[in-house]
Structures are given as C-alpha cells and as structure tokens.
Chains A and B, each alone.
Chain A
Amino acid sequence: MGVSPMSSTGVGPVAKKKKLPETRARRPCHEMGSIMLSDEVKKEIDAEARHYPQRRAVVAEALKAVQARRGWVDDESLRDVADYLGLSFDEVDSIATFYNLIFRQPVGRHVILICDSVSCYLTGYEKLLDHLKKKLGIALGQTTADGRFTLLPNACLGLCEQAPAMMIDNETYGHLTAARIDEILGKHE
C-alpha cells in the first residue's frame, strides 16, 4: 500500500518561514492598494464579483485566476489578491490552503492529478501509480527535477466508468494502462 492517508496534494500547512514586512500599527493592511495584479486578472475578478453580494465570495476564483497564469499562488500574488478584495493575507491564505486545487507551492509545467479513489483502486490504480512514480522518478506530491511534471493524488475525478483515470492540466484521461500513460506523458513537454 503506497499511499499513507495523510499524503496530501502538497498544499497543506506549509512550512511558514518567510517573514513579511510588518504592517504599521496605525494602518490596517487591507487599506493598502494592490499593485501587482494585471489588469486582465483584475477584470476577471471584477466580472466574477458581480455575481455575488459580497466581494470576498470570489477569493478562490481570484486565486485560480492567478494560478492560471503562474501555475501556483506565490505569497506576493496572494497578498495582491487579498488587497484587491479587501481581505487580509491571513484570511486569504486560510482559504487558499483549504482547497486542493489551489497550489501554494511551486508546481511543474504540468500537474498530474491521479485519481486514487475506489473505482480506480478496483481497476488497478496502484500499479499505474507505481509506473508513474518510477517513470517520473518522483513520489506523490513531488515535482520532477526538470520542472516538467508534478504528481498529486486526487479524489474521485468522476470518471469511474473509464477507471483508472487521471487528469493532466485541464484534460482528463480514462482507461489508463502503462503504455497509454507513456504515450500521454510524451505529449506534454
């Protein structure tokens, strides 16, 4: 049995090391304007925000907008999103670290989400995982040295009728075999 129950998708409570500049006592940090977000991202956030009575509702959406461009959400972007939505850094990070599709650590150019849930388990997911690990030379939660792939376990992808299945970036792949995996990986530079 390869997967320990706690192997996460690599976005859990991360080691909290880097120190941020302190906010001045008299100046709440949420008053500081955002400087970094591109107009395009801001537009996307604003468009989404119109759907909700409260601006904070789009926080996950905003993080995903950043991630769509950078691959992951770094501290600076997170702070920008916080400022743009009138939230604090901690408030946003509390949300960012909850959801598994938001990455708070760098990922490779392609993120492999391999389904580890029951139907895939029953149809031989473990062997495929072993194959993937060997082929990429990484464990779950890791990124290949060349920065090409990150391998993460994912809850049921809703592809049970095509199990075993995985998702790379935005594409889903079912009926996996070792050979098919090799072929699919080959298509991702």
Chain B
Amino acid sequence: MIEDKPLTSRMRSDGRAVSLQEYVAAGGYQGLRAALQLSRHQVIEQVAHSNLKGRGGAGFPTAKKWGLIPTDLARQPRYFVVNADEMEPGTMKDRLLMEGDPHQLIEGMIIGSYAVYASVAYLFIRGEYRQSNEVMKQAIAEAYQAGYLGQKILGSDFGLDLHVHTSAGRYMCGEETATLNALEGKRAIPRFKPPHPPVVGVWGKPTAFNNVETICCVPHILREGAHYFRSLSRTEDGGTKIYGASGRVKTPGLWELPMGTSAREIIFEHAGGVPDGCRFRGCLPGGASTAFLLEDHLDAPMDFMSLQAHGSRLGTGTLVVLDDTVCPVGMMLSLEIFFARESCGWCTPCREGLPWIAAMLEALEKGQGRQEDLHILQEHCDLLLLGRTFCALAPGAVDPLRSALKYFHDDFRRHVINRRCPWS
C-alpha cells in the first residue's frame, strides 16, 4: 500500500503506541528485510537517491553523513546514535514519533546501523520525556524478543544492540557532539570539529548521528524505494515532514504533510489561523533558533532551501506563531532567557554574550532600556556567528533576534522612547 503519510498513518487515535504486531501487520520491518538483502553501500545509495535530509535542524543529507564513516573497518566498534533530546522550544515532533510508533524508529536505527557497520546503537532521549522513554524501552524489548535486535538479525550475519540513554536535562545535550559527551557520562560540552562524529565520535570511535524524524523516514525508503520517498515531497528535498504550530494559533498541533508545504497552509489551514480578532505578526518557522518569517514570506515552501531566501531556515519545521496581542520584545526575552540559561558555559561569546542580551531585553521590557542597548543587541547579532562561537547554540540564539530587530524595530524603539512595554 502506498501511503502519503508514511510516518504517522499507523498511529492510533487513542494515543497508545503502535504495537509490534500492529506495526508488522502494516508492513513494518519489511524495510529492514529489504536492507539486509543489500550491501551496506547499496543501502546508503538508496538513502542518497531519496534525498533525505536531516530533520534535526541543519538539513544535512543523511546519506552523505553516513558516507563519511570510514569504510576500512580498522577502528571498531562503530556506533549509531539517534538524537531524541528534543528541547528546541516550540518543537514536539520527535515525542509524537516515539510515543506513537516506536518500532518505526527502531527499524530505522537497525537499518542505519547496518549501513554504517555499527554494532551498538543508542537512543538519547531527554529526561523529561518519561513516556517516550517507557514506550521506547518496551518496544526495544519486544524487538529483541522478535529477533530484530541482538545477534544474527533475521538470520543475517548482522547483529545490533540498541539501548536507551535517558538524559538528565539540558538543551545543550542536543548538539551532536555534546550529546556524545553526555552519552560518555561527561558534561555536555560540545566537541571541537573537525574531526566530525563519523570519524571521531562517541568514545573516539566512528559514529553516525541523526535525529529521530530523520531515522523514522529510513524504513520507508528501503521498503518503498527512493523514488517513492521523493514523490511524497513538493520540492527537491525528499519525503514528508512533521510540521507543527504552536503559540498564537487556534488549534496548535502536529501534521505530517508533504515536504515543502507552505507556512501559510500550515498556520491558516491546519492550525486554524491566529485567534479571532488578532492579527498575525510573524512566526519562527522551525523552533526557537530560526529567524522570523513575516506575512509576506508565508507562501514559500517550508523546505531546506526556500526559506533561506527570506533569511530563515526550516529548522525543525515546527512553527511558533506571534500575533499582535503579545510583545515581540517579550517573546525575544523569553527566547534569550532560554538560550542564556542553556549555554554550557564553554565559550566566551555564548556564555557572556547571551546573558547580556537577555539582561538588555529584560531592561527594555521593564522600561529601563536605552537607545544604545539596541545598538549592542544588533552588535551581538553581528558577532555571534557560526565559527566565532564554539558551536551553533549562540548563532541559533541570535538568528531570531536579528530578524526581530529588523522586522519589529519600531516595537523595540517604542520600548525605549515610552520607557515601558506597550503591551504591559
């Protein structure tokens, strides 16, 4: 059966997780069977043809990442790590995938591990996701029982152990190299790159690293073929996408839609638009670290390339919507408090710059802002760039701020001139 919502179509309406039986009945683990018939290289080729790009925020082609894992097998073991740390404010899609259909993720992880010669896989789940943790552990136990995990999977020579690692908190744990440090039982400080995890990953060994949603796509690519996967999309990037909307919308939620669906469709058709009597002002298209889109930009396809033309990114594809009832400066303050607090404390611009940003925004909101604060805020947006900071956290923190300063400049100025927040 060809399905246009491969990731979510099996999910039950009662909110219970799809069981192993239900999953298998719906064609589950066929992708794995198909993969095991192929060479590892062929699996990666399939994924390459599917044009699957990472759903964790950066949109890096998955096959390309896997291809960076050295093919000479001198350095063993290899690891496969899936990032379920989902802490980007406004983002709740991986929780849905784990709690709704855990075997889909497990199957993806097995196929991915096969492709990169990994013998151990870890699912790194944030600590607050109690239910995801339980559902996944239960499903993994089922998969072991049924012979999808362990030694000689489905009679092949391939074996895999899959473990859940429950995090103890911190947004930083989602940054790929910080995740690996957390996994090793260290402080979740990012690592220096290069070398990237495919070459020097967890415990110094080659490691594949992907987002939950990315890996959930993999079984379908192997089962139905790369062509099928690409055909799901409205643009170059393959597949469907779990889009979401929250904040100032009538019916917040998550929807699996063709990759490249416009923000307008998501906000106004699926999320019901902004509450009655309110005016749409802007949205963050993919979580807290993406730049604002305005009304004018809403028709752009929500894919990895198109939003760049408007100075933003797809990010996690879960929109956060702002209307005219909430102060954009207050919204920025909430965002920057988050980023300042979640900085790991390793590099100077992030550790010191973000709290300063937050302090200035707080002053603005309290009516104590100064004209020069706006200048210093802008300066930070120009300074906290990728490469100048140690990792992508701080650049992600100033992306929305930069766009806010541009699009809501008058609002910022009014805070200074009127010495109060116009919304307070």
Contact = CB atoms under 8 A, between A and B. Distances in A.
> A and B: direct contact (Cβ < 8 Å)?
yes
A98 B346 CA distance: 12
B362 A1 contact: yes
Interface in A91-133: 94-95, 98-102, 113, 116-119, 121-123
Interface residues of B, number: 67
Interface in B243-292: 244-248, 252-254, 284, 288
A54 B128 contact: no
Give the one of B186, B288, B321, B354 with max A CB within 10 A: B186
A59 to B, nearest CB: 4
Contact of B334 (A102, A118, A159, A170): A118
B355 A99 contact: no
A95 B186 contact: yes
A115 to B, nearest CB: 9
Interface stretch (B23-31, B164-172, B307-315, B370-378): B164-172
A122 B188 CA distance: 29
Interface in B337-374: 337-338, 340-342, 344, 354-355, 358-359, 362, 365-366
Given A5-B359, A154-B128, A170-B130, A102 B244 contact: no
B92 A161 contact: yes
B95 A122 contact: no
B91 interface: yes
Contacts of A162: 252
A181 interface: no
Nearest to A100: B169
A4 B340 CA distance: 10
Given A117-B90, A122-B320, A158 B129 contact: yes
B213 interface: no
A161 B253 CA distance: 5
Contacts of A54: 184-185, 203
A43 B89 CA distance: 36
Interface stretch (A26-34, A60-68, A142-150): A60-68
Interface in B182-203: 182-188, 203
Contacts of B322: 122
A99 B169 contact: yes
B67 interface: no
Given A95-B186, A118-B331, A122-B331, A160 B318 contact: yes
Contact of B188 (A53, A98, A123): A98
B163 interface: yes
Nearest to B88: A156
B165 to A, nearest CB: 8
A94 B128 contact: no
B48 interface: no
B344 to A, nearest CB: 8
B330 interface: yes
Contacts of A170: 130
B381 interface: no
A184 interface: no
Contacts of B89: 117-119, 155-156, 160
Contacts of B244: 160-161
A1 B185 contact: no
B336 interface: yes
A51 B336 CA distance: 37
B127 interface: yes
Interface string B18-40: 00000000000000000000000
A63 B318 CA distance: 33
Given A57-B184, A155-B341, A158-B86, A121 B331 contact: yes
Nearest to B187: A98
Contacts of B340: 5-6
A57 B334 CA distance: 33
A167 interface: yes
A136 interface: no
B337 A3 contact: yes
B87 interface: yes
Given A155-B341, A159-B92, A1 B169 contact: no
A177 to B, nearest CB: 16
A160 B187 contact: no
B326 interface: yes
A3 to B, nearest CB: 6
A53 to B, nearest CB: 6
A160 B91 contact: yes
B335 interface: yes
B69 interface: no
A64 B185 CA distance: 13
Interface of A: 1, 3-6, 8, 51-54, 56-61, 63-64, 94-95, 98-102, 113, 116-119, 121-123, 154-163, 167, 170, 172
A-B complex: 4 closest residue pairs judged by Cβ atoms: A99-B168, A5-B358, A160-B246, A117-B89
Given A121-B331, A159-B92, 7 more contacts: A5-B341, A56-B186, A60-B185, A117-B288, A118-B89, A158-B86, A163-B252
9 contacts: A5-B336, A5-B354, A5-B359, A61-B166, A118-B247, A155-B87, A156-B90, A160-B92, A172-B128
